[in-house]
Amino acid sequence: MKKYIKILSVASLFIVTSCSDLLVEIPKNSLAQETFFKTAQDAESSVYGIYAPMREDQSYKVWFPAMLTNLNDYTFGRGSQVAISEYQGLDGTNIVRAELVWQRLYQSINYSNISIQEIPKVGMNETKKKELIAEAKFLRALNYFNMVRLFGAIPIRTEPFTEINKVAGKRMPVAEVYKLIEADLTQAETDLPDKGVQEGRPNKWSAKTLLADAYLTTEQWQKAANKADEVIKSRKFSLVEVKVSDDFLKIFGPTVQTTTEYIFSLKFSRIDQLGWGYVTFPHATNTPYSPGGNRAHFTRPTFPLIRDWAKEDLRKDFNLYTDYVDRVTNKVVALPAAEPICFRKYRDGAAPSGSASGNDYYFYRYADALLIYAEAAAMAENGPSELALERLNMVKRRAYGLSQTAPSAIDVKTGLSKETFRETVLVERAYEFMLEFKRWFDLKRMGTPYLKSKIKESLNKDVKDVHLLWPIPKVEIDNNPDMKPADQNPGY
């Protein structure tokens, strides 16, 4: 059985959150934050606690990936997810889900802040102490990076809080949030170990890749290229070789513990409530790919990215299906004509339940470093160099089952402008990272006109400016003395 990180309940001793209450003060007889941190194990346990909110349904386990998937220009939602795909702002159901994402990620940020504040006081090995603080800063940066891209200007909280009347903070400019992200990751890449203590915990290369992504998003082209280049030149990673489409299971399969291209992921396990809940979302009921299934999103052959996807690209067959063998009746079932294609990148038919899928949530793989470099270097150098082309083509060749280092007929050729090359990289990212929850962020960082044109071309939907961000939770506005109703994102 796949290993998973054992999340200790230390963090729950400090703060409990729910849908209705942002914070609940701890009982006086509970173990207090001030008296908990005594040993090296206490320090490490506090860092384990940072992961707990990240692994809940309300964050990366279900709603963060599910909602982002339905904002793609190659998917459309079903059921309660339809409203997201309409691009007219979230309805009441999905506003609540967005609020829960906010609460869980800030909860994780607060646990980071507790560790960052308290671990320096613990008598322990200084190198290990620095590593744990760096891990807390990496996770804080990761959560802030996702929040600022979803909600825009947000409060910057770097001090722990345990009482509701201490949860303050004005919405800070996006640029200020990125300053904190960059500062946290600059320290993390220095102090994290070369290899993570366990799979599912970051190392210095995880920090460098996340920092490269942050630089890419803020259009600091040369910094993004340089940081991605450090990861590539480390020679610690390589793309997994594939010859047939199902070879991608060597990366995404439910029993995979690690690969040569693994940089950072959240680990899940085939144990009830400890699996990755998102895996049930792409699949129809009774498929051989998941014991659950609600087909929360699908795609159509008319969507440009799907329409133009070469059948020789092994990722296409690996990712998409139009029929399946019903696990109960053993008969072939075709998907409905109106919803003709589903996704099967993540599959675990042997999971004991829908809450026990063993697949992992990849935040970063080696392909990220290669494609970040290709795009950023071309933008910094006013056109693609041979090296930028080669690193893009390495990803593309692997997808076709070819040698990653030998020139091939499917290679992207020289002579492209930086704009055309960037668009080519964006298409390659869409295929390589299909259902890895990056496409909406890619569309956004290309600018509002670009995003609107892609959604219109694919889905014939008009995206309003005011609905490019998720709403600030009402509970935050009600309980934060530095916020007023006027601070809400427009349109909500």
Q: Decide: helix, strand or coil at residue 24.
A: strand
What residue type is 296 in one-letter code?
Answer: A
Q: Which residues pair with 299 in a beta bridge?
A: 341
What pLDDT does residue 139 have?
Answer: 98
pLDDT at 224: 99
Residue % of the chain over a pLDDT of 90: 87
pLDDT confidence of 196, banded at 50, 70, 90? confident
Looking at every residue in the chain, the average pLDDT score rounds to 92
Rounded distance, CA 221 to CA 225, Å?
6
* Residue type present at position 284: A
Whether 267 and 196 have beta carbons less than 8 Å apart is answered as no
- List pLDDT tens digits, range 46-77: 999 999 999 999 999 999 999 999 999 999 99
Rounded Cα gap, residues 150 and 158, in angstroms: 20
Number of CB atoms found within 10 A of residue 246's CB: 12
Q: What is the pLDDT of residues 77-134, one digit of tens each?
A: 999 999 999 998 899 999 999 999 999 999 999 999 999 999 999 999 999 999 999 9
Contact between residue 237 and residue 203 where contact means Cβ atoms under 8 Å apart = no
| Whole-number Å distance between alpha carbons of 428 and 2 | 30
DSSP 8-state class, residue 88: S
| DSSP label at residue 299 | B
Cα–Cα dist 412/445, whole Å: 23
Which tens digit of pLDDT belongs to each residue from 242-287?
Answer: 999 999 999 999 999 999 999 999 999 999 999 999 999 999 889 9
pLDDT in tens, 411-420: 999 999 999 9
Structure tokens at 111: 């646990």
Helical packing angle, 92-118 and 126-151, nearest 10°:
160
Give the SS3 label for residue 78.
coil
Q: Give Cβ neighbours of residue 8 (< 8 Å, ≥ 6 apart).
A: 45, 48, 49
Name the pLDDT band for 34 (thresholds 50, 70, 90).
low
Q: Please report the pLDDT score of residue 1 as a whole number.
A: 37
